[in-house]
Amino acid sequence: MITTRTLYSLLRDGISEVQIQGEIVVVDADKILFQSSDAIGSYPARSLLKPFQFYATGLNFEGNTKIQHIAALGSISANEEQVQSLRQAIQGESTELVLSKIKLPVSFPMDEQHRAKLKSGGMGPEQCFHTCFSKHLAIVESCEKNKWPLDSYLAVEHPFHLKLKSKMEELLQEPLTDLLWVTDGCQLPSPVLRLDQMARLFQLLAEAKTDTRLKTIRNLMVENPDWIGGPERVDSKVISKNGGRVIAKEGADGLLAIGVLPSAEYPRGLGILVKIAAGYLPQSAGLALRPLFDVLGLSSPVNPPAGQNINFHYKPWVTPQTEMKDISPLLNSRAAVWPGDKSFNRKIALDMNGGSNYTLSSIETTVHIGSHTDAPNHFDLKGKAIHQVDLNKYQGLCQVIEISKPKATAIKPEDLKGVPVLAKRVLFKTTSFPNPEHFNEDFNALSRELIEYLSFRGVKLVGIDTPSVDLFDSKELPTHLATLKSNMAILEGIDLQGVQPGIYELTALPLKLEGLDASPVRAVLIKKD
């Protein structure tokens, strides 16, 4: 599930050129301090979990820590220096036997220079160039130590993965009974976790309060930043630039984790997770965290590209609230209806004010009241009734356009000069029906030519803040009929007072009234970035 929002925009000369969608979660030891979206998504943790996968191996750090164990905490770029150090570290007959058990695809190095040199020299891919090589090596070593089966270590039911699950439950202090697993690119199972769970794991790793093995893993990450990724990788640069204050780990498909070590302000540290919706864009992930880094006094290694300015769409510690703008007039006996139509009338059968245990009432009204949508059978004998209409037209991105014209006139395509149509649903604000409790006949409407113009641009719903898309004295209803020809939904009677032109999310679903020619709707707008 992706529950993203726009984290930042890159602008060139004031014009938005790039928008980065994603999600950010910040936790301390007790709670979620900040989340950039209303909901928190769940994703395969994949290589983000490498410190905890090594933790689950149970391998000890004795004497001088083995370089392959340090490399297992990260996803190294496999530059020439790293590969040479690894090869020297794993020399020996017993290690060669272990290497033969590794079930890891061959790969070229992530490091561009080393990869290019290998290809130009006619060299092929190898297991030791893979970013997960040291992780597999550590798992195989733990299988040997714990007498676990080697042939099946890629299976979810293998003791190692059960141990990893148990360790995560122990750290998170919550059961992972319905934990989902996916197959990682290196063929190992990877658990699907919520972003706040991943952030919590990195907060616990940064804190490492009582667990000496976690503390050793944390310290090794702080002391060996280039072995977590590589000299030019974002996670390595975050660690290097912040002088022992943070740990960081890039994850596959757009994840970046930060563990902020304990400080006077945050005595148990912080865990930060960013997910970039478009996938593995580590520079974008690092850039997205700059507002948080600024607040925390940390240094970001990523700057906006040359020639572009940046506009952040979130504020640290301020979790956005969904602000709905209700564009539905109040329905009551005072609500104005089309002359001759049935006014709203409430009948009370039981009333708690009269001594009953509950209140029970019914209403009698025209279905063309307040904010409402017309069904095709309102103006076409063979048209669909309201219970048969396509609901997709009534929910999604919409554009509010404000037009000022003389009263009792219809909006035409030329009135939109200089206003591009940007969404598949368009609502027109005319302010020509200012009082929903008083019916004035000189309201604005829409022309047949405008419907044809909008239809050519893919618009599938048109709305207006007046009682009808046709003028009051229209008898042939040319605009209604044009919407029928264009397969366009109609939304009438909405209240756009106080709504500024722009892009919104519209929800205005009709009731499932069998055979009826219209339905009142509760129309709401949510402002979009």
Backbone angles phi, psi at 513, to 5 degrees: -100, 110
Kindly state whether residues 238 and 162 are assigned to the same domain: yes
Record the tokens describing residue 23, joined without a space: 């999600």
Q: How does pLDDT run along the chain (529 residues), one tens digit per residue?
A: 446 889 999 999 989 999 999 999 999 999 999 999 888 999 999 999 999 999 999 998 766 678 999 999 999 999 999 999 998 888 865 556 667 889 999 999 999 999 999 999 999 999 999 999 999 999 999 999 999 999 999 999 999 999 999 999 999 999 999 999 999 999 999 999 999 999 999 999 999 988 899 999 999 999 999 999 999 999 999 999 999 999 999 999 999 999 999 999 999 999 999 999 999 999 999 999 999 999 999 999 999 999 999 999 999 988 766 789 999 999 999 999 999 999 999 999 999 998 999 999 999 999 999 999 999 999 999 999 999 999 999 999 999 999 999 999 999 999 999 899 999 999 999 999 999 999 999 999 999 999 999 999 999 999 999 999 999 999 999 999 999 999 999 999 999 999 999 999 999 999 999 999 999 999 999 987 6
* Angle value at C-alpha 412, between 410 and 417, nearest 5 degrees: 135
Kindly state whether residues 244 and 197 are assigned to the same domain: yes
Give the sheet arrangement for strand 502-507, strand by strand: 324-326, 524-527, 502-507, 395-402, 425-429, 461-464, 489-492, 372-374, 518-520
Strands 372-374, 518-520: pairing is: antiparallel
**Structural contact between residues 443 and 407, judged by C-beta atoms closer than 8 angstroms:** yes
Record the tokens describing residue 299, joined without a space: 């240094």
**Structural contact between residues 258 and 236, judged by C-beta atoms closer than 8 angstroms:** no
Residue 164 lies in a domain: yes
Residue 317 lies in a domain: no
**Structural contact between residues 486 and 457, judged by C-beta atoms closer than 8 angstroms:** no
**Count of all residues that appear for the chain in the document:** 529
DSSP state of 340: T
Catalytic residue among 69, 378, 387, 480: 378
User: Domain of 119: which CATH number?
Assistant: 3.40.710
Kindly state whether residues 428 and 479 are assigned to the same domain: yes
Provide the pLDDT for residue 43: 95
Provide the pLDDT for residue 93: 52
Kindly state whether residues 436 and 294 are assigned to the same domain: no
Provide the pLDDT for residue 1: 45
Q: Which of 454, 457, 516, 515 is nearest to 479 (CA)?
A: 454
DSSP state of 91: -
* 387 assigned to active site: no
Residue 390 lies in a domain: yes
User: Domain of 489: which CATH number?
Assistant: 3.50.30.50
**Structural contact between residues 518 and 419, judged by C-beta atoms closer than 8 angstroms:** no
Q: Which of 230, 228, 263 is nearest to 245 (CA)?
A: 263
DSSP state of 279: S
Structural domain of 244:
5-312
Kindly state whether residues 202 and 149 are assigned to the same domain: yes
**Structural contact between residues 345 and 363, judged by C-beta atoms closer than 8 angstroms:** yes
Kindly state whether residues 133 and 189 are assigned to the same domain: yes
Q: How many domains does the chain have?
A: 2
Alpha-carbon Rg for the chain, nearest whole angstrom, is 31
**Structural contact between residues 396 and 503, judged by C-beta atoms closer than 8 angstroms:** no
Q: How far apart are CA 110 and CA 139, in angstroms?
A: 22
* Angle value at C-alpha 139, between 191 and 134, nearest 5 degrees: 95
Asked which of 312, 335, 369 is the last residue of a domain, the reply is: 312
Residue 477 lies in a domain: yes
Mention every residue, 6+ apart, whose C-beta is less than 8 A from residue 337: 343, 344, 365, 366, 368, 369, 439
Dihedral (C-alpha) 300, 305, 306, 312: value to the nearest 10 degrees?
A: -70
What are the DSSP calls for 453-482, one per residue? HHHHTT--EEEESSS-SS-TT-SS-HHHHH
Label residue 292 exposed, middle or buried (CB < 10 Å: 0-12, 13-18, 19+). Answer: buried
Record the tokens describing residue 152, joined without a space: 């099946």
**Structural contact between residues 230 and 110, judged by C-beta atoms closer than 8 angstroms:** yes
Q: How far apart are CA 274 and CA 7, in angstroms?
A: 10
Q: How far apart are CA 148 and CA 142, in angstroms?
A: 8
